[in-house]
Amino acid sequence: MRRYFGTDGVRGTVNETVMTADFALTLGRAAGHVLTRHLAHQPHVLIGKDTRLSGYMIESALCAGLTAQGMNVLLVGPIPTPAVAYLTRSLRADAGVMLSASHNPAGDNGIKFFAADGFKLPDEIEMEIEACIDDLPPLPPALEIGKAMRVDDARGRYIEFLKASLPRGLRLDGIKVVVDCANGAAYDVAPRILSELGCEVISMFDAPDGYNINHACGSTYPEQMINRVVECSADIGLALDGDADRLIACDHRGQLVDGDRVIAILAEHAQAKGQLQGDGVVTTLMSNMGLERYLNALDLKLHRAAVGDRYVLEMMRERGCNIGGEQSGHMILLDRNTTGDGLMTALQLLCAMRDQEKPLAEMAADMPLFPQKLWNIMLAERIDIDHDERIQRRVAQAEAALGDDGRVNVRMSGTEPKLRIMVEAERETLMLEVGEALVADMSALLNGA
């Protein structure tokens, strides 16, 4: 049983949960001991962070724990999560750490580890660290502690890495871009690289103060980006989240282009270039049936993983696919980086627009979406729905009512005692009829659960 690590590292509200300076120090010592034990040399670990106020505190405490246990630390400052994954590989570090709570409010923070290859730390290593937290080893002798060093050119290295993912000599002159940096980790990198590639850039929410990350901006609040695109007659809007591993786009009319449509555009573009690996793409159980039918028409498969980028990545590696992601905008381009990368996705989207000489609206319209709706039922506590015959029977009845023209997905939230019910169908009237009946039935069944 995991006590601290979730599917995306350790996360919580600062000074209210485990996310304290004391815990970060302890975690640093535990991680330092475990990682050192697996190596024959004094290891180096790289630490990046987003722009939260608590990043200073957590970074200092974690760094103290790691160096106390004998690890050398490379501090790269505020930088996107995918940059940490890349720089861990590029700088030959033995591990990387990102301090971020992604799209969560400023009061939250998280600690996410990467292995030397830029992928998330294996489960067995995380479990070793968890066990060590409760049984810390002795400290090494005074002259065997580690040291901390600043890496001054980290952002520039990441920008050059992003450019190298594009065709040599490609320029994006004439494309007018609105970019919402979410007052987060990409506040400097995103406008810089777009400008260097020739875009006319209108940058928003690029002045972090420690408190305003994700506050009414970024990928979870794209309304202001949409308004600015329409006001400025821009060609495209790009909204990142706090650590810049997600992207939500909009076209010149202000219409949102979600992760499903972005995957469709990138998959078709890669297929035309002979760059698509595997027999299709990987998404989650929540992806729209419209995407599945669209890909099938291209002789491509859609593989569905459990909700969460960790599971998408696992299936991509199993299937040999290089494109995968979620509706929420968390895209993984595995032949280019080892984790979700909002800026990498944005550049590939702009590259597709330039190559095809089409506006985003036209490319997005090629894939029709099925009407889809998500309902939530709050419960007193989490329940095991997979082994509840009453729930499974009602889900089966709803699926029978939809036939081949729709789909039902019922699951528990990963973080709350909340039942999530998603229904989609080719016809909106059928979707609402089946969905509302299922929700009413479930609510009556689980009332008082």
Number of domains in the chain: 3
Q: Provide the pLDDT for residue 449.
A: 45
Residues 120 and 166 in one domain: no
Least confident range of 3-12, 87-96, 342-351? 3-12
Catalytic residue among 54, 100, 102, 219: 102
Q: Identify whether residues 25 and 128 lie together within a single domain.
A: yes
Do 402 and 316 sit in the same domain of this protein? no
In a domain, 342, yes or no: yes
Q: Do 270 and 169 have their domain in common?
A: yes
Model pLDDT for residues 330-368, shown as the tens digit of each residue:
999 999 999 999 999 999 999 999 999 999 999 999 898
180 and 276 assigned to the same domain: yes
The reply to whether 136 falls in a domain is yes
CATH code at position 392 = 3.30.310.50
Q: Return the CATH number at 198.
A: 3.40.120.10
**In a domain? residue 2:** no
Where does a domain end: 321, 338, 365? Answer: 365
Residue 4 lies in a domain: no
Residue that wins the pLDDT comparison between 286 and 415: 286
User: Is the pLDDT reported for residue 152 higher than 90?
Assistant: yes
Please answer whether residues 22 and 71 qualify as being in contact, where contact means their C-beta atoms are separated by less than 8 angstroms: no
Q: Are residues 344 and 211 in the same domain?
A: yes
**Does one domain contain both 48 and 187?**
no
d(CA 126, CA 113): 9
The predicted pLDDT at position 415 comes to 67
In a domain, 5, yes or no: no
pLDDT surpasses 70 at 448: no
Final residue belonging to a domain, choices 129, 152, 175 = 152
402 and 265 belong to one structural domain: no
Q: Read off the pLDDT of residues 164-215 as tens digits, 9 standing for 90 and up.
A: 999 998 999 999 999 999 999 999 999 999 999 999 999 999 999 999 999 9
- CA–CA separation, 42 and 182 (whole Å): 37
**Predicted confidence (pLDDT) per residue in 241-268, tens digit:** 999 999 999 999 999 999 999 999 999 9
Residue 404 confidence (pLDDT): 87
**Within a domain: residue 1?**
no
Average pLDDT, the chain: 94
Do 74 and 162 share a domain, yes or no? no
Whether residue 215 is found in the same domain as residue 335 = yes
- Which H, E and C letters describe the chain, residue by residue? CCCCCEECEEEEECCCCCCCHHHHHHHHHHHHHHHHHCCCCCCEEEEEECCCCHHHHHHHHHHHHHHHCCCEEEEEEECCHHHHHHHHHHCCCCEEEEECCCCCCCCEEEEEEEECCCCECCHHHHHHHHHHHCCCCCCCCHHHCCCEEECCCHHHHHHHHHHHCCCCCCCCCCCEEEEECCCCCCCCHHHHHHHHCCCEEEEECCCCCCCCCCCCCCCCCCHHHHHHHHHHCCCEEEEECCCCCCEEEEECCCCEECHHHHHHHHHHHHHHCCCCCCCEEEEECCCCHHHHHHHHHCCCEEEEECCCHHHHHHHHHHHCCCEEECCCCCEEECCCCCCCCHHHHHHHHHHHHHHHCCCHHHHHHCCCCCCEEEEEEECCCCCCCCCCHHHHHHHHHHHHHHHHHEEEEEEECCCCCEEEEEEEECCHHHHHHHHHHHHHHHHHHHCCC
The answer on 196 and 83 residing in a single domain is: no
* Token pair of 304 as six digits: 């569905």
- Most confidently modeled of 259-268, 304-313, 402-411? 259-268
423 falls within a domain:
yes
Region 95-104: mean pLDDT is 96
Q: Has residue 179 been placed in a domain?
A: yes
Residue written as tokens 């919580």?
Answer: 12
Instruction: Specify whether 248 is located in the same domain as 356.
Output: yes
Which domain covers residue 440, as residue numbers? 372-446
Does residue 308 or residue 428 have the better pLDDT? 428
152, 186, 211 — which closes off a domain?
A: 152
Residue 416 in this model has a pLDDT that exceeds 80 = no
- Pick the range with the lowest mean pLDDT from 314-318, 329-333, 336-340, 386-390: 386-390
102 is catalytic: yes
